[in-house]
Structure formats: structure tokens, C-alpha cells
Amino acid sequence: MTEHTTWVEGTHSVTHTGGGDIHVSLGAAAHEPRKPVFRQLPDDQLRWVRRVLVAPVNMGRARTTLDETGTVILDGVPGSGRTATARVLLREHHRPIGAFRELLPGEQDELPLRNPALVDPGDRLLLDLSTAEAGLWHDALGGLPALRRTVHERRAHLVVVMPHDGTLDPDLQHYRVEIGPPVSPLEVLRRHLRAHGVPYEQFLRNDVTIDEFLSDRKPMREIADFADRIRRARESAGPGKEFAEWCAAAKHARAGRRAEVAECVAGLPDASQRALLIAVSMLHGAHADVVHRATALLLSAVGHPEAETPLLQRKDLAQRLSEISARSGPDGRVRFTELDYDSAVRVHFWDHMPDLRPHLGAWAGRVVESNDPHLVPDVRDGLVARLAGEYLRTGRAEALAALAERWSAQGADRARSEAAVQALTCGLADPAHGKYFRERIYQWCVYRRLTAEFAQVLVQVCADVLAPDHPDHALIRLHHLARHERGTTHALQALCDLMAGSRRLRRRLLDRLARGDLAPPDLAIFLRVSDPAPLTDRSVTTRALVDEEEVRRSLITCWRAVLTEAVSRPEGRPMATRAEIRHWLHWAAEGAGDRGELLLDVLVEAADRCGEDRGSTFAVLYTSARQAECASPAYDARSAKTTDLLLQKIGVAQGLGPATPSASASGGRS
């Protein structure tokens, strides 16, 4: 496959580090919550890599090392497919528990490699340091032994991709496997072509273009890209074209078309033709109506006066397209006649007309909100992805981020909000600028006063784009968004959804809340995320979250703040708080099994720490227990017994009864 994985077919991936487009569609109004669409994408990506990977040299040894030890450290020359191999190895260890995650040591909000909280049972962890500088690699080496031990203890799996020129400590040499590129580059190309749907009877023939391309050893990335060009040449070829002609077109496109485009532009002095050339390159494959309207919008954006020629005397669109080597097909979609001509046009105007760049951003915003039935999501997203590609190619990540924010200004409609999501998705997926966008999104979530539209864009990006590979980063950002949320609960719901399947994330958020200032927004968040059902669940492991001392400590700290707020501000949230208490007591009686007493211990100890208000908080607990008992669906002896046990614990806390061992003192029953 590739050194930096390139999804070279029309997959539904949000990870994208090669050529082509990324398409993201919200599918609903940007101001309404919706079901996340990207939650399962990491596994989709891993399946795709597995499909196209030809096993590199020493793949078997790497697999055995990972199977036997839970850890493998991959080394190899750049271009040998190390990262793709790492992903496939982790894909082979897919289990119902745990998740695939990529670790980002040194980044903001990333736990240190030494921290055991980084790993959940069954996790599949990728630590890709193939391009890391010496300092980062040295720091990572210091934490690797501790990380490896945690991975082993929790039956997780870790694949590290080390820098090829990096050194490795002697005690880690046992886990190192040096892989080499596959023996047959031709088989790599054919595997990609087969995955792209090219008939095998075509690519099994000998072809002089392929022989020439593979005559010297190519990195896996270049082979994947060449296969993708053949695929696109096949799709755009006219009837009667054969495999050899597709390969020749791919070869020509690979050589680059900058000189051709420069000559074409020089021969088009008319602004309207240049605008059409740009519009086709940015909307390649769009319907002719969309291209025509976009051309007019571009001329307006740059202040070009409208044509004075009478309408029926003007050139029709077909003639104008032929003058720029483009045509409209039977389906009405406009494409250049030569492969990759569109990307060469974009590069030419972006590089050689820099004053045009700000106009292109404003123009794209107007195009995406056009009311045209042919402006389907794929076309809109393709436009944004191509524009974002030029920003990123030339190192203008900050300008792209600012553009996404402008598109999400007050009053932005759904189309502009979707475009902003798409732009940020492209930035996050870019290997050179992903870190910048993760940090920029953090700054927005923490420090900026956001419009409702932009806040929802960030919720969408965190929940659907950032969370699959980097859930900890998404957790922190969604927490900040939820704290600042007013009038909606989109961020809070996304935060709850994110934690729903992860004990590790729930543990981390509870710890984060307990260590914070527990302002009223945090208390509201706590009451939503402290559902006792997952806290007492033992379907994954024999030990429930509430069995863990650290989790109980966090719960006690947060409940103390909730109870204090309830009794000190009776005009605030006492009814809502009592409803949450009743829910805990219902669960302690009927759903928690032998962990029910631990839930009571948490509430009583939290109330006992309320200082001058402890008497009032004990009264709130007891009253809530009686109400819960009366409202119990079963209204049976279990609820009454729970109330009696709670009253006994309150008495002990107040020194009114005999001391009895609490469940928390013994760490819970197992």
C-alpha cells in the first residue's frame, strides 16, 4: 500500500492523505442534531487497506510478534508500506471490545504514554512515528516500556512505526521487525486495479507503459496513485478505448500538464473564458448548469462587468467549452478531455494569480448556497475539497481555517455550514496540517465566543471526524462546547454519544469534571454523563467502573458539588437534582445488583462532605429515597430495603448508629 495511506478509490473515509477529493454531507439541517455518520469509519478504512495490501517482506514475522507479545515495532525504508502494514495488523485483531485509535504523543489533550488510562481492554493502538523528529522519538522511547506493559496487562494490541533512522533501546529490540517492500511491484499495482473494479482480463495483459513505470522501484504510494490514474482514465475514456490507452493516459497525466495549461491560459485573454476554465477545474464533473452559473458568479466576484453583447449573439456553452478543451457529456456533466487537466488548471491560477485567492473563497461560498437542483452534495463537497487542497498544498492552513469560520457566520444556512465542515475535514485529514487544525479547533472551543452556526459545525467535526481516530481530543473539545452551550444540547448529546461505548472515555470525563471548578454548566453535564447503568455494568469485564477507587472519588467530588448547589440555591435545580438522585436509587435497588450499595456509599459520602449543609443534604437524600420507593415500578421490598440501607448509612455518617463496613471500603463485591 502506501507509506502515508492514500484512499485512492471512492471510499467513504475521512482519512485522506493523497490526491483526490473528500466528501462530507451533513444530510440534515446544520442546526439540528442528527445521527453521526462516521462512527464506524476506522474499521471501513482498515478493511480497504486490507483489500489492497500485498504483504511486504517479513509480514509473517510482524504478525507473529504481535500475536505473541501484543506489541510490534515496525521499521523499514520509506515507501515500503509500513503504515499500511501497521493498520492491517491491527485490523486482524478486531474484537467486540476495544477500539482502534491512533496515538498522538506530545499533542495537547493527549495523555502521556506512561499513563495507564490511555489503554482500555481490547484496544488496537497505532503509534505512527515514521516521520517523527529526533526529539519526539526520544520522548516516545521513554514512555514505550510503560505503554507496552499496560497493553499487555489489558490484552490490547500496539503497533509502533518507528523512524527508519531512529535508534531503539536494547530492551525493545525484541519487538522490532524490519519490513521490506513487496517482492512484486506488479502484483501491488494489479491488486489496486482489481480493487478499483478494472476487469482482470485487462490488467493481466503485458503493457509497455506499466513495464516502463515499474522498471525502477517505486514507493507504494506512487504505485497506488498510478493505479488510481488508470482507474480515472478508464472512467473518462470514450467507447472503444482499451487498457493500453488507459495506461498511456495515466502516464501522460503523471508527467504533469503545467506547460499545457500555461499555454492555454496565455491564449485566453478574455476574462469570461478564464472564468469558465477556473469554474470547470473547481467543479469538474458537475452539471453544465452549475458550471455556467458558477462562471457568472466568479465574474461578479472579481468585479467584471456584465457582457453587453446581445444574448443570441453570444457563444453558446458548448463552443466555449471546446475552446478550453472541455466538453459536456451525455449526462450533462462537464469534464476536461485530458486526464488531470483540472488539477493543473487549479495549480496554475492559484500559483500565478495570487490576488485571485481571496475571491475564490468568497466565490465558493456563493456557489455552495446556490439554489440549483444539480448542485448535489458530492458536487458541493468536491468544490470545497479542491479549494481546500490549494490552501493546504501551499501551506495556508490558517487561511483555510479562517474561511471555514467566515462561512459559519451568524445566519449561515445549511449549505455554508456543510461547506465549513468539509473544509475543516480536509484540514484535519492532511498529514502536514492535521495537528494545526486539531489545535485550532481546541482554541475555538475554549476561548472563542461562537455563533450558534459555527458551534454546531464544530460539534459535527468533533463527533464525526475527530472522534473515530482521536476520541480523547473530541472529548475535550465537546466538553468545552457543552459548557458554553446555550439554548441547545447538541454538544452535550454528542458528548454522551461519544462516551456511550467507552469506559475509558467516561472515566476520563468524570476525572476531568472532578478536577475542574464544577461551575453550573459542569454540574449539568455531570448529571447527564453519570448514568449509573454504565457505571455498574460488568458485561465487558468483571470489574465495574464504580468498583474503581478513582472513579468513586470523582463521583463523590461531583455529587458533593451538585448537592451543595441544590441546597444552597433552592431556586436553582433541586427538582432536577432530586430526579437524578431518584434515578440512582431506582438503579441501586433494581438494576445494579451487588453494586447497588456502592451507589449509596457515593451519595452518602458526597453529602457528608457538604460541610454546614450536610444535614440538609442528608435530608434531601432521605426524602428522595422515600419518593423513589413510592414511585418504584415494582414498589416491592427491594426499594424499601434500599431506603432502609440508605437511612442506616446516613445514621452512621452522622454518628447516630453502629459503624458497619461499607461496600466502598472493601472495594465492592466481586
* DSSP letter for each residue of 127-189: EE-TT--HHHHHHHHHHHHHHHHHHHHTT-EEEEE--TT----GGGGGGEEE-B--S-HHHHH
Pick the CATH number of 41-178 from 3.40.50.2300, 3.40.228.10, 3.40.50.1820, 3.40.50.300: 3.40.50.300
Q: In terms of Cα–Cα distance, which of 275, 226, 210 is closest to 2?
A: 226
Block residue for cell numbers 464544530:
458
Distance CA 161, CA 182 (A): 17
Residue 299 and residue 359: Cα distance in Å, rounded?
10
Bridge partners of residue 287, in order along the sequence: 333
The answer to whether 457 touches 30, Cβ cutoff 8 Å, is yes
Three-state secondary-structure class, residue 338: coil
Note the helical H segments in 461-531.
Answer: 471-484, 490-499, 503-515, 520-529
Q: Which residue has the cell 506499466?
A: 210
| pLDDT for the residue 583 | 86
Phi, psi of 249 (to 5 degrees): -65, -40
What's the pLDDT at 440? 97
The low-confidence residues of the chain, meaning pLDDT below 70, are 1-44, 307, 313, 569-576, 632-636, 657-670
Report pLDDT for 150: 96
Residue that has been written with the C-alpha cell 487561511 in this structure: 399
Separation CA 306–CA 146 (nearest Å): 68
Cell numbers for 578, please give them.
432530586
pLDDT value at residue 34: 35
- pLDDT at site 109: 80
Displacement of CA 537 from its chain's centroid (Å):
27
pLDDT at residue 3 in the model: 37
Query: Residue 663: its pLDDT value, please?
Result: 58
The residue ranges of every structural domain in the chain are: 41-178, 185-254, 258-394, 518-664
Q: What is the pLDDT of residue 238?
A: 73
* CA–CA distances in Å: residue 505 to residues 104, 496, 555, 604: 16, 10, 15, 26
pLDDT number for residue 428: 96
Q: Which three cell numbers stand for residue 159?
A: 503497533
Cβ–Cβ under 8 Å, residues 345 and 258: no
Measuring CA to CA, which residue among 481, 478, 485 is closest to residue 500? 478
Length of the chain: 670
DSSP state of 661: -
pLDDT of residue 27: 36
Which residues are registered as beta bridge partners of 124?
A: 100, 157
Q: What is the dihedral of CA 576, 582, 583, 585, to 10 degrees?
A: 150
**φ/ψ of residue 132, rounded to 5:** -70, 145
pLDDT for 533 equals 92
Is the separation of the CB atoms in 88 and 50 below 8 Å?
yes
